[in-house]
């Protein structure tokens, strides 16, 4: 009787506490289960769709990708760059891929060196254009001494970084290896919607690649902050591969 009373009393007093405790425990486990799941989902997502993954994709598909982009050069922009740099000057093709533009720059009388982070694309470039030097390297830490180039051709290459900080660091590196009065050409995808970055599968790759998009004002700020003076700037530049949904921001600037 006493026990029953105590039991009833305990039940009455502790029912709420127990149910709160239980709810908290169940809640914590559920939250932690969900957190763990979403953590790993986010991690997988980042791993699948990051800068590194994009470079890995170039490595695994170098031959095919080089063939796909082989005919999409911009002769008028190459001409303008070559004329602004002037003469038989040393230029860096930053993000040279399979060497298409290095070859065209050489045909315009310049002395190009190509640099890229994809070893397989570099292999394609070296096989196709053995007379041109191609180097392995990252824009964030270029394998060149200070002030050795008269021009930098960064065409459709400064656009896979995940953060604006990386873009800033790359532009600082470009500035470091460029001689005083040297010329830089930057050609990046224009931000048309709200998203600053996205993962895009397009006709050039047929695979997800990570892209950062830019506005004209942003490019002005980035270049000026990195110590360049703008010579020519255009947005809404048509896509060399004729994709209607893609527009480009083009900048020519001087150190
Ligand atoms: C979209 S493709 C463009 C290739 C070529 N410039 C063109 O216009 O067709 C981008 C190229 O830049 C290279 N790239 C991107 N980020 C780089 C980095 N941080 N350092 C070196 N190469 C990079 C990629 O490996 C790839 O070859």
User: Is residue 180 very low, low, confident or very high in pLDDT (cuts 50, 70, 90)?
Assistant: very high
Q: Per the structure block, which two tokens stand in for 52?
A: 């590194």
CA distance linking residue 76 with residue 93, whole number of Å: 16
Q: Tell me whether residue 71 is in a domain.
A: yes
pLDDT over threshold 60, residue 177? yes
| CB 182 less than 6 A from any atom of ligand 1 | no
- Per the model's pLDDT, the better-predicted residue between 31 and 60 turns out to be 60
**Mutate which of 50, 116, 122 for ligand 1 pocket (most atoms within 8 A of beta carbon):** 116
Residue 72's domain is classified under what CATH number?
3.40.50.150
Q: Tell me whether residue 118 is in a domain.
A: yes
Q: Is 28 within the bounds of a domain?
A: no
Place of tokens 């997800």: 208
Say what the pLDDT of residue 199 is. Answer: 87
More confident residue, 46 or 59: 59
Q: What's the pLDDT score for residue 18?
A: 56
Identify the residue with better confidence: 5 or 104. 104
Most confident of 21-25, 69-73, 185-189, 211-215: 185-189
Could you give the CA distance from residue 236 to residue 135 in angstroms, rounded to a whole number? 32
Which domain, by its residues, includes 68? 51-254
**Comparing C-alpha atoms, which of 146, 120, 7 is closest to residue 55?**
120
More confident residue, 219 or 211: 219
46 assigned to some structural domain:
no
Residue that the structure tokens 């170098």 belong to: 62
On whether residue 38 sits in a domain, the answer given is no
Residue 44 placed within a domain: no
Pairing between β-strand 90-94 and β-strand 149-155 as defined by DSSP bridges: parallel
The three-point CA angle 246-204-153 to 5° equals 70
**Structure confidence at residue 13 (pLDDT):** 61
Q: Compute the distance between CA of residue 63 and CA of residue 172 in angstroms, rounded to an integer.
A: 31
Q: Is the pLDDT of residue 63 over 90?
A: yes
23 within some domain: no
- In tens, the pLDDT along 9-19 reads 666 666 656 55
Longest dimension (CA), the chain: 107
Strand partners, 117: none
Nearest-atom index, ligand 1, CA of 58: 25
Question: Which token pair is 67?
Answer: 């063939």
Say how many Å lie between the CA of residue 193 and the centre of ligand 1.
Answer: 23
Label residue 44 by pLDDT band (50, 70, 90): very low
What pLDDT is attached to residue 208?
82
Q: Using one digit for the tens of pLDDT, what is the confidence trace for 69-117?
A: 999 999 999 999 999 999 899 999 999 999 999 999 999 999 999 999 9
| Count of structural domains within the chain | 1
pLDDT band at 205 (very low <50, low <70, confident <90, very high): confident
CA distance 232 to 210: 27
Residue 216 has which token pair? 């004209």
Q: How confident is the model at residue 201 (pLDDT cuts 50, 70, 90)?
A: confident
Answer yes or no: pTM beyond 0.85.
no
Examine residue 199 and state whether it is found in any structural domain, yes or no: yes
Q: Distance between CA atoms of 61 and 98, rounded to whole angstroms?
A: 11
- What are the phi and psi torsion angles at 134 (to 5°)? -125, 130
| Residues comprising the chain, all counted | 255
126-149: per-residue pLDDT in tens? Answer: 999 999 999 999 999 999 999 999
Q: Does residue 189's CB lie within 6 angstroms of at least one atom of ligand 1? A: no
Distance spanning both ends of the chain, measured CA to CA: 94
Which of 31-35, 196-200, 235-239 shows the lowest per-residue confidence on average (mean pLDDT)? Answer: 31-35
């Amino acid at each position: 009787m006493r026990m029953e009373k105590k039991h009833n009393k305990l039940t009455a007093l502790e029912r709420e506490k127990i149910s709160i405790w239980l709810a908290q425990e169940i809640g914590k486990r559920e939250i932690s289960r969900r957190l763990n799941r979403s953590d790993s989902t986010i991690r997988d997502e980042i791993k699948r769709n990051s800068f590194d993954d994009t470079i890995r994709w170039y490595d695994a598909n170098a031959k095919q990708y080089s063939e796909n982009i082989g005919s999409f050069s911009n002769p008028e922009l190459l001409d303008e760059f070559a004329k602004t740099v002037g003469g038989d000057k040393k230029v860096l093709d930053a993000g040279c891929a399979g060497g298409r533009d290095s070859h065209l720059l050489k045909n315009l009388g310049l002395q190009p060196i190509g640099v890229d982070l994809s070893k397989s694309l570099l292999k394609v470039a070296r096989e196709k254009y053995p007379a041109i030097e191609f180097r392995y390297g990252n824009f964030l830490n270029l394998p060149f001494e200070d002030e050795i180039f008269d021009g930098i051709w960064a065409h459709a290459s400064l656009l896979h970084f995940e953060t604006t900080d990386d873009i800033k660091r790359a532009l600082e590196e470009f500035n470091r290896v460029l001689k005083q009065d040297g010329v830089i050409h930057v050609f990046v995808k224009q931000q048309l919607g709200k998203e600053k970055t996205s993962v895009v599968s397009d006709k050039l790759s047929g695979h997800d690649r990570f892209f950062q998009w830019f506005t004209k004002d942003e490019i002005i700020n980035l270049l000026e902050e990195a110590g360049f003076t703008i010579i020519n700037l255009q947005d809404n530049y048509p896509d060399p591969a004729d994709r209607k949904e893609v527009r480009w921001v083009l900048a020519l600037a001087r150190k």
